[in-house]
Structure 1
Amino acid sequence: MDLPKPYLVGHQEFAALYGVEAQMVSQWLHPSRGVLDPVTAIVVSGVRYWPLGFACRFGRTTPRPKLLDVRYKERLIAEQGEGWEADTRDQLPPIVGQQEIIELFHLPSQGTLATRIAAGNFPEEDWLLSGSMLWLLDTVLGAVPELRARARSLAWDVDDQVAAALREGTYDGPGSKVLARGRYARKGL
């Protein structure tokens, strides 16, 4: 990979950039408000994430401008380590969460992956955002030889079609859509 990883934010970090509760980001996303377009985010394991550059510009683009907490931005950058500030989702490399990893390797269950992660037998996450671990696809694929060497029963065979779809941005498997939550979720069925 040519560049270090881009800086990202999830709902909690996005909200903290503007000193509001995380639920406010969901309200900004609501179609009746039309403040935050969902297309500006990527979806990883059913959750939206934004490039830090976009999130920092967002406050100046709304009908009621919002003040950016620059100190929190600096803290996010320090926590995420060496990186760069992407402005659009199209600038982001392929990023995966647990749901995409399970599909990539056709693992028998989420518990299989969770056990590996907890035991320290999986690459360290590239980001920990809003309580979720995320990896660059290249981080995961680069660890395949080591995963195979430590495996007792799993083959850790990569599904090349899933990997290609993740790279091309056409992946539509588990985790590719944000699932409706809350009391109105059933109305969408």
Structure 2
Amino acid sequence: MHGRKPYLVGHQEFAALYGVEPQMVGQWLAPSRGVLDPATAIVVSGVRYWPLGFACRFGKTTARPKLLNVRLRERLIAEQGEGWEPDLGEELPPIVGQHEIIELFHLPSQGTLATRIAQGGFPEQDWLLSGSRLWLLDTVIAAVPELRASARTVSWEVDQKVEAALRAGTYDGPGSVVLTRGRHARKGV
């Protein structure tokens, strides 16, 4: 049986595992390079995240092998707490960021959620990766009674269709795709 949450990495952590700048991960993802398949990542709030197992294995799969920083891997595991090391995105439970949470509750603005988080009235994130907060969907759903009890104007009603789509991996609302920037934006993903 796996621990409560899987170990993940964002662009910054992925790059640090191989001693490169975070922009290099974007270059690996570039269609012209074809080094890193975008399908290996999950997208949460418009940003890619990878299972740690895949990220650690990646360096051995490239034409020019890359050396993994094993100490950093150990530190990431320690920082993320009790969990397990998945290799594939399909192994992951539903994970949400601010975009998905706003849609899940039909919040009036991102500021509503940001204020709630800043004031400590929202569950602590399960991950803080590459500067972004992420939660297990179950963490957010479990907090609904407490959110409702302390609410003044927001009802904190869960949209069952959004929750079902997040659980099924079929969510296609805000944050479900990466908005490509730079010279590859014109080509589409």
Q: How does the TM-score come out when normalised to structure 2?
A: 0.96
Counterpart residue type for residue 110 of structure 1: Q
Shift of 1:187: 6.7
Tell me the equivalent position of 2:155: 155
Shift of 1:4: 1.3
What is the aligned-residue identity percentage?
81
Where does 1:103-182 land on structure 2 (aligned, <5 Å)? 103-182=103-182
Counterparts of 1:180 and 1:65, CA distance in 2? 27
Where does 1:9-20 land on structure 2 (aligned, <5 Å)? 9-20=9-20
Counterparts of 1:186 and 1:147, CA distance in 2? 42
Tell me the equivalent position of 1:27: 27
Q: CA RMSD in A?
A: 1.4
Shift of 1:184: 5.3
Shift of 1:64: 0.4
Counterpart residue type for residue 62 of structure 1: T
Counterparts of 1:168 and 1:187, CA distance in 2? 29
Contact 2:45/2:176 (8 A) holds in 1: yes
Where does 1:31-70 land on structure 2 (aligned, <5 Å)? 31-70=31-70
Counterparts of 1:13 and 1:126, CA distance in 2? 16
Counterparts of 1:85 and 1:71, CA distance in 2? 16
Query: Per-residue CA shift, 1:7-28, capped at 9, x if unaligned?
Result: 0000000000000000000000
Shift of 1:186: 5.8
Counterparts of 2:71 and 2:121, CA distance in 1? 35
Shift of 1:116: 0.1
SS of residue paired to 1:112: helix
Query: Per-residue CA shift, 1:153-183, capped at 9, x if unaligned?
Result: 1100000000000000000000000002236
Shift of 1:72: 0.5
Tell me the equivalent position of 1:72: 72
Counterpart residue type for residue 46 of structure 2: G
Query: Per-residue CA shift, 1:14-53, capped at 9, x if unaligned?
Result: 0000000000000000111111000000000000000000
Q: How does the TM-score come out when normalised to structure 1?
A: 0.96
SS of residue paired to 1:60: coil
Counterparts of 1:157 and 1:133, CA distance in 2? 21
**Structure 1: runs of 5 or more not aligned:** none
